[in-house]
Amino acid sequence: MVRRWQKTQLGQYLTQALPVEEDDISPERLKRALNRVQIGLLPFISGSVAILFLLYAGVQALFLQEFGMPLYVAVALISATLLLPLQWLSQRISLPEQWVNPLFAFIAGLVLLSMLLRQFLTAELKQTANLILFLVAISVFFTTARWLYGLIGVTLLGWALSAFWPLAGQRAADWGFYAVVMLAAAITAVILHQARIAALTRITMLQFKERQQRRALQRRTMQLQTSADIGQQITSILDLERLLRQVAELIQQRYNLHYVGVFLLTPPRKIVIAAEAGERLPEHGSNLQISHHGLIGRALASGQPQRVSDLQNDPDYLPHESLAGARSELILPLKTGKQQLGVLDLQSSLRNAFAAAEVPIFQLLADQVTAALENARLYNEVKQFNQQLEQKVAERTEALQQANARLERLDKTKTDFITISSHELRTPLTILTFYSQMFLDDETIQADESYLKWANGIHQGAMRMEEVVERMLDVAKIDSMSLRLFPAPVKLPFLLSSIRHRFRQDLAARNLTLTIGDLSPLPEIEADAEALQKVFYHLLINAIKYTPDGGDITVNGRFHPAVDSQPDSVEITIADTGIGINPDVQELIFEKFYQTGDVQLHSSGKSSFKGGGAGLGLAIARGIVTAHNGRIWAESPGYDETNCPGSRFHVRLPVKQPV
Ligand code: ADP
């Protein structure tokens, strides 16, 4: 029918004026819709025709009183009696739409009967005017031309018979004229009918389309909303099991689906249900046994969505009792790149529930589920990693604490050893020094060169030992925090030149130059002069020891005015042209007993190049400087005995000691 009306001129005009794609509207559906529209007119038309019959009966009985009046009135009343219940009925119940044409033919037939009766009985051709009106009026009665043609045929036949009726003929001359007008009316009726049906079809199609689009829009909106809701859940729920369950429930409820399942692949080749939701799902889940043979297996094998419009006709469908009632199914793969994670299974109790055009949108939902799986996987990995890390940190901390405790014990043992041994050594040393001095003072010994040399050796050795013991005592005091300072104003130029005096011989022996810059602008500082002497003694003796013969040692000083919380301070720098210190040990050298290089290889002279020491000098220096609220540090490009890059030791001391 659609195709036929389109071929008419009006059809073409309307097609252009109201463009509609009608591919998906079946002619059957369209016909049913047209019949429905027409049947809607039934109460009005049957009612108004019934009223017309009643009026006609009244007018005929009271005013016209033509020949055959009782018969006209009877037929009119019977017609009205038949039509009124039809009007009543059609208003209350919806009559089957396929009855529309016979019912309208029935109404038209009643009207035609009355008219022909009058035509025949009055035998006047002018009655033809009624039939002409009738022909035009019935153009709006039918939805198919067949019925219209039929009725026009009956009308024309009836009228033609009336022309030959024995009573007719008085005006036989006008017969031809009326015949032409009747034919014209019939043709007009056909044209009107076609135009009306064309317009009605078009409007109905537009209504269809509009409804379809509205539904599609609603579905899209819902899909987008679902997608957004899933997205929101993905970002807010990290517990994978809960997330998948909520996503399954959300999809199932939004799309009113029979069943929604999320199936995951677990190594090596097992498929497990991760979450499911359904209309009639048993409380403890469907208990599905999923195999690689069914539709899910097909989706996993192909990596492509599987859309089955009618499950009964799919050989791969494996029905399951707890999911009975599923008619169509859409299985979407969950995959990242090439890796298959599982599938999202949607089942509907309706046939054809998933349109091909919707598959990409459903795939979008599946991709969101994939993203959730990925998120959860990453989250779990991070969580696991964190747990491992925490465990490692705990283990390491424990190990460090143990090591620390061991070191503390060791350090204490060292300090105890230093304290005890230095105290124990002191008394015999004093005796040794005293008697060696006596030897030196003895005239007999002085007279003999060899004796004098031996006595000198003993005395120097004793003095050296005394020095070492003194250092050990200093370190012990620093370690036990019992170093006592007696701060007083100290003139640094004076202090440093007195120390220089002590090294005169050593410098000369090693051909070293010690230059002390102009320290006179430096302010007097508050410090323990004796302790400070030790600091610079150790720094200078080190500079001498670690600088090859012929090198230079320079002492400089500068004043630092107070900045922020730092008080006024002075900084003394002792630079040498010696072997240098590697950056990685520049802090370690301040630890007690720390020595770089092989201790066995040290020479024994106090001031000889790389002369041996106990590794206590810098520890004592730092202890004293720190006790003065100062700072001591070393700088050197590195250790290199060939090129001798040199070292710089900085001592920064506050001008005033805090109260
Ligand atoms: P030591 O009695 O061995 O000199 P110190 O505590 O005075 O002990 O010094 C520790 C280590 O620091 C030394 O063994 C040496 O390796 C390094 N060191 C100290 N001063 C210098 C310097 N001026 N040049 C190069 N190395 C130095």
Report, as an integer, the average pLDDT of 595-624. Answer: 74
Whether 471 lines ligand 1, by a CB cut-off of 6 Å, is no
How does DSSP classify residue 563?
A: B
Helix (H) or strand (E) holding 193: helix 175-236
Find the DSSP H helices in 489-528: 492-502, 504-510
Q: Which of 93-102, 165-174, 278-287, 404-413 has the lowest mean pLDDT?
A: 165-174
* 274 touches 264 (CB < 8 A): yes
pLDDT in the model for residue 284: 66
Q: How far is the CA of 268 from the centre of ligand 1 (A)?
A: 65
pLDDT in the model for residue 176: 81
Give me the half-sphere count of Cα atoms (radius 13 Å) on the Cβ side of residue 8.
Answer: 19
Please, what is the average pLDDT of the chain?
Answer: 86
Q: How far is the CA of 479 from the centre of ligand 1 (A)?
A: 19
Give the gyration radius of the chain's Cα atoms.
Answer: 59
pLDDT in the model for residue 649: 98
Question: For the segment 497-512, what is each residue's pLDDT rounded down to a tens digit?
Answer: 999 999 999 999 999 9
Residue nearest atom 3 of ligand 1, based on CA coordinates = 615
Token readout for 223 is 């899909």
Whether 477 lines ligand 1, by a CB cut-off of 6 Å, is no
pLDDT in the model for residue 537: 94
Residue 15 has pLDDT above 70, yes or no: no
Whether 615 lines ligand 1, by a CB cut-off of 6 Å, is yes
Q: How far is the CA of 633 from the centre of ligand 1 (A)?
A: 12
pLDDT in the model for residue 564: 86
CA 217 to chain centre: 27
Report, as an integer, the average pLDDT of 399-413. Answer: 89
Q: What is the position in ligand 1's atom list of the atom closest to the CA of 646? A: 24
pLDDT in the model for residue 21: 47
Whether 537 lines ligand 1, by a CB cut-off of 6 Å, is no
Whether 613 lines ligand 1, by a CB cut-off of 6 Å, is yes
Give the model's confidence band at 285: pLDDT under 50 very low, under 70 low, under 90 confident, else very high: low
Whether 581 lines ligand 1, by a CB cut-off of 6 Å, is yes
Residue 642 has pLDDT above 60, yes or no: yes
Task: Judge residue 94's burial from the number of C-beta atoms within 10 Å of its C-beta, 0-12 exposed, 13-18 middle, 19 or more buried.
Answer: exposed
Whether 596 lines ligand 1, by a CB cut-off of 6 Å, is yes
Whether 628 lines ligand 1, by a CB cut-off of 6 Å, is no
Residue nearest atom 8 of ligand 1, based on CA coordinates = 615
CA distances from 128 to 124, 154, 158, 186, 654 (A): 8, 14, 11, 13, 135
Whether 576 lines ligand 1, by a CB cut-off of 6 Å, is yes
Question: For the segment 70-127, what is each residue's pLDDT rounded down to a tens digit?
Answer: 999 999 999 999 999 999 999 999 889 889 999 999 999 999 999 999 888 887 777 8
The pTM of this model reads 0.47
Whether 548 lines ligand 1, by a CB cut-off of 6 Å, is no
Q: How far is the CA of 609 from the centre of ligand 1 (A)?
A: 11
Residue 541 has pLDDT above 80, yes or no: yes
Residue nearest atom 21 of ligand 1, based on CA coordinates = 542
pLDDT in the model for residue 190: 94
Query: What is the best residue among 475, 542, 576, 593 to mutate for testing ligand 1's pocket, by most ligand atoms within 8 Å of CB?
Result: 542
Token readout for 524 is 């007097």
pLDDT in the model for residue 17: 47
103/354: higher pLDDT:
103
pLDDT in the model for residue 495: 94
Q: How far is the CA of 506 from the centre of ligand 1 (A)?
A: 17
Residue 43 has pLDDT above 90, yes or no: yes
338/35: higher pLDDT:
35
Q: What is the position in ligand 1's atom list of the atom closest to the CA of 578? A: 24
CA 128 to chain centre: 83
Residue nearest atom 20 of ligand 1, based on CA coordinates = 542
Residue 380 has pLDDT above 90, yes or no: no
Question: For the segment 292-319, what is each residue's pLDDT rounded down to a tens digit?
Answer: 678 888 888 888 999 998 888 887 777 7
Give the model's confidence band at 6: pLDDT under 50 very low, under 70 low, under 90 confident, else very high: low
2/432: higher pLDDT:
432
Whether 317 lines ligand 1, by a CB cut-off of 6 Å, is no
119/523: higher pLDDT:
523
Whether 223 lines ligand 1, by a CB cut-off of 6 Å, is no
Share of the chain above pLDDT 70, in %: 91
Report, as an integer, the average pLDDT of 419-427. Answer: 82
How does DSSP classify residue 636?
A: -
Whether 611 lines ligand 1, by a CB cut-off of 6 Å, is no
Q: How far is the CA of 410 from the centre of ligand 1 (A)?
A: 22
**Largest CA-CA distance found in the chain, in angstroms, rounded:** 196
pLDDT in the model for residue 464: 83
Give the model's confidence band at 19: pLDDT under 50 very low, under 70 low, under 90 confident, else very high: very low
Whether 347 lines ligand 1, by a CB cut-off of 6 Å, is no
Q: How far is the CA of 602 from the centre of ligand 1 (A)?
A: 12
Question: For the segment 445-499, what is each residue's pLDDT rounded down to a tens digit?
Answer: 889 999 889 988 888 888 888 888 888 888 888 887 778 889 999 999 999 999 9
pLDDT in the model for residue 184: 94
Whether 58 lines ligand 1, by a CB cut-off of 6 Å, is no
CA distance 475 to 458: 26
pLDDT in the model for residue 39: 92
Token readout for 145 is 């031309």
Question: For the segment 223-270, what is each residue's pLDDT rounded down to a tens digit?
Answer: 778 778 877 777 777 678 888 888 899 888 888 899 999 988 887 778
543/299: higher pLDDT:
543
Q: How many CB atoms are located within 10 Å of the residue 200 CB?
A: 18
Q: How far is the CA of 304 from the centre of ligand 1 (A)?
A: 75
- Bond prior to 268 in cis (omega within 30° of 0): yes
pLDDT in the model for residue 124: 77
Q: How far is the CA of 570 from the centre of ligand 1 (A)?
A: 23
Report, as an integer, the average pLDDT of 397-414. Answer: 89
Whether 535 lines ligand 1, by a CB cut-off of 6 Å, is no
pLDDT in the model for residue 166: 59
